């Protein structure tokens, strides 16, 4: 083999096998990842060695599911009791941690339901109807108010977190598995059933997450929705069990069940949710965000701005200087840690529509600043019940609302050219933001 053919063979192999999960995730989304079946087999082998809590025989599955649901209910009751007795939040010590978590799981949430895609072609076989119904419900049957992927994207958008910072590659693992199962569902039907069985049993952390997001002023509708729609009595959890019972062949049931178990274990590849949440490091996140921003800001400041005898531009020119810079801001009294951030001059520079540095920091970065400055000071709780933000969405004409009476197209017409700057245009813009859920929540 010549060097050139060697090279082109290597190139072809590189193309066939993406070298990161993120690349494979993207390739699957784009519909061309020829090596994903082999990759899925590898992951199943990896999952084989993990323990699982499934019963030894399929006949016990019903009892297993009921027991799981009872344990979750008990675990949640215990959590609520602890909270009543004054225990702090279990997962999110501040709002920044919640926003961080929502971004970390975004690649998975962006393909919610994908593992069931291949079932759609079996619409004429009633044994598949439970799985198909589950998939259609993930898609909200095409209604943008109910489409799980859109609900999650609206949530990120309202929080100003649509632009994801670079995530660790492993954050793409579950999403990639889901896409691969969806693409190869014909060859991996028992594994799809098993994965579905695991994914659709609501875990206790789902309930706690919903509760704590509400407390942090974040609409946990996406999570609350999964508590209800995945329920074990009649929801996706129940359907996941029925699908197994209907599709498990009489001949070779045990072998089929072993493959179902392998698929089930795929859910446990990668970090579990509570461990992921506990990895958050507020100060490290803040300094990393500042380091990313540093290069863009280093020529933007007037030389009269000085902190501890260095100009801001000098501070920003030096790699790794951000912790020192923040310490200097503190030493000069610009930042008062442990108090309401509103009492820090620095906060007034970055937050609010008339702040001199308006727009320099994203909503997430501002939350990092806010919570780092606040430290042990806790803002008053502003509970947002799940569904509050979503309930305001109209998507279409709302009788009685003069601005939305003609629906979104009329609003869009009023937002064209320079018409949006007229009083009517300003109202139309506000109505458009509300109707589409694309307005942003302030940091607090
Ligand atoms: Fe879902
Ligand atoms: Fe579901």
Domain finish residue from 275, 296, 318: 275
* CA–centroid distance, residue 138 to ligand 1 (Å): 5
Rounded Cα distance between 395 and 397, Å, is 7
* CA–centroid distance, residue 197 to ligand 2 (Å): 10
* CA–centroid distance, residue 434 to ligand 1 (Å): 24
Q: Are residues 406 and 292 in the same domain?
A: no
In a domain, 182, yes or no: yes
User: pLDDT tens for residues 228-265?
Assistant: 888 888 899 999 999 999 999 999 999 999 999 999 99
Query: What are the residues whose beta carbon lies below 5 Å from ligand 2 (ion)?
Result: 230, 236
Domain finish residue from 247, 275, 303: 275
* CA–centroid distance, residue 413 to ligand 2 (Å): 38
In a domain, 11, yes or no: no
* CA–centroid distance, residue 95 to ligand 2 (Å): 26
Look at residue 421 and tell me whether its pLDDT is greater than 80: yes
More confident site: 390 or 192: 192
Q: Are residues 164 and 303 in the same domain?
A: no
Q: Are residues 29 and 107 in the same domain?
A: yes
Chain mean pLDDT for the chain = 89
Torsion of CA 252, 258, 263, 266, to 10 degrees: -170
* CA–centroid distance, residue 128 to ligand 1 (Å): 18
Residue 125, domain extent = 21-275
DSSP letters, 322-347, are HHHHHHHHHHTTS--TTS-GGG-HHH
Look at residue 28 and tell me whether its pLDDT is greater than 80: yes
Q: Are residues 132 and 114 in the same domain?
A: yes
Task: Give residue 389's pLDDT.
Answer: 86
Q: How many Cα atoms sit within 13 Å of 63 on the Cβ side? A: 6
Residue range 98-109: average pLDDT?
A: 97
* CA–centroid distance, residue 231 to ligand 2 (Å): 9
C-alpha distances out from residue 408 to 146, 412, 416, Å? 18, 6, 13
In a domain, 200, yes or no: yes
Look at residue 64 and tell me whether its pLDDT is greater than 90: yes
State the pLDDT confidence band at 302, using cuts at 50, 70 and 90: confident
Rounded Cα distance between 257 and 54, Å, is 10
- The answer to whether the CB of 307 falls within 8 A of the CB of 315 is yes
Q: Are residues 204 and 304 in the same domain?
A: no
Q: Are residues 224 and 353 in the same domain?
A: no
In a domain, 14, yes or no: no
**Domains contained in the chain, number:** 3
What CATH number corresponds to the domain at position 167? 1.20.910.10
State the pLDDT confidence band at 363, using cuts at 50, 70 and 90: very high
Q: Are residues 367 and 406 in the same domain?
A: no
Domain finish residue from 275, 300, 329: 275
Q: Are residues 357 and 402 in the same domain?
A: no
- Rama region for 352: left / alpha / beta (φ>0; ψ in -120 to 50; rest): left
Residue range 272-279: average pLDDT?
A: 96
Residue 275: which residues within 8 A CB-CB, separation 6 or more? none
Q: Are residues 133 and 80 in the same domain?
A: yes
Structure tokens at 6: 């060697």
Q: Are residues 150 and 261 in the same domain?
A: yes
* CA–centroid distance, residue 206 to ligand 2 (Å): 12
Task: Give residue 85's pLDDT.
Answer: 98
Query: What are the residues whose beta carbon lies below 5 Å from ligand 1 (ion)?
Result: 112, 138, 148
Structure tokens at 403: 């601005």
Residue range 358-379: average pLDDT?
A: 93
The reported pTM is 0.90
Q: Are residues 48 and 112 in the same domain?
A: yes
Q: Are residues 167 and 294 in the same domain?
A: no
In a domain, 335, yes or no: yes
Task: Give residue 248's pLDDT.
Answer: 96
In a domain, 4, yes or no: no
């Amino acid at each position: 083999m010549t060097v050139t053919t060697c090279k082109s063979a290597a190139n072809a192999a590189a193309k066939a096998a993406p070298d990161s999960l993120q690349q494979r995730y993207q390739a699957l989304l784009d519909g061309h990842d020829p090596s994903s079946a082999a990759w899925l087999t590898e992951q199943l082998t990896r999952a084989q060695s993990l323990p699982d809590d499934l019963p030894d025989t399929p006949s016990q599955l019903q009892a297993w599911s009921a027991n799981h649901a009872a344990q979750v209910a008990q675990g949640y009751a215990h959590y609520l009791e602890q909270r009543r007795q004054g225990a702090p939040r279990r997962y999110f010590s501040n709002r920044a941690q919640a926003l961080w978590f929502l971004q970390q799981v975004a690649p998975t949430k962006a393909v919610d339901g994908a593992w069931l895609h291949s079932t759609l072609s079996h619409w004429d076989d009633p044994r598949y109807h439970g799985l198909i119904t589950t998939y259609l419900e993930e898609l909200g049957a095409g209604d943008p108010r109910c489409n799980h992927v859109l609900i999650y994207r609206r949530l990120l958008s309202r929080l100003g977190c649509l632009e994801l910072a670079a995530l660790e590659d492993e954050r793409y693992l579950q999403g990639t598995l889901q896409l691969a199962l969806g693409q190869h569902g014909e060859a991996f039907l028992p594994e799809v059933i098993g994965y579905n069985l695991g994914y659709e049993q609501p875990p206790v952390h789902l309930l706690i997450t919903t509760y704590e997001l509400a407390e942090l002023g974040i609409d946990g509708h996406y999570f609350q929705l999964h508590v209800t729609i995945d329920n074990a009595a009649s929801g996706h959890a129940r359907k996941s069990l029925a699908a197994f019972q209907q599709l498990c062949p009489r001949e070779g049931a045990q072998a089929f069940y072993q493959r179902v178990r392998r698929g089930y274990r795929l859910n446990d590849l990668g970090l579990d949710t509570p461990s992921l949440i506990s990895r958050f490091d507020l100060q490290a996140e803040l300094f990393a965000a500042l380091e990313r921003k540093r290069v863009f800001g280093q020529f933007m400041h007037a030389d009269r701005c000085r902190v501890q005898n260095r100009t801001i531009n000098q501070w920003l020119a030096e790699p790794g200087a951000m912790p020192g810079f923040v310490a200097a801001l503190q030493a000069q009294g610009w930042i008062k840690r442990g108090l309401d951030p509103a009492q820090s001059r620095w906060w007034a520079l970055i937050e609010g529509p008339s702040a001199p540095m308006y727009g320099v920091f994203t909503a997430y970065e501002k939350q990092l600043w806010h919570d780092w400055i606040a430290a042990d000071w806790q803002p008053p709780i502003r509970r947002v019940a799940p569904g509050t933000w979503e309930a305001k969405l109209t998507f279409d004409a709302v009788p009685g609302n003069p601005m939305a009476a003609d629906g979104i197209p009329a609003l869009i017409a009023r937002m064209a050219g320079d018409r949006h700057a007229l009083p009517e245009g300003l109202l139309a813009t506000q109505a458009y933001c509300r109707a589409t859920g694309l307005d942003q929540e302030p940091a607090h």
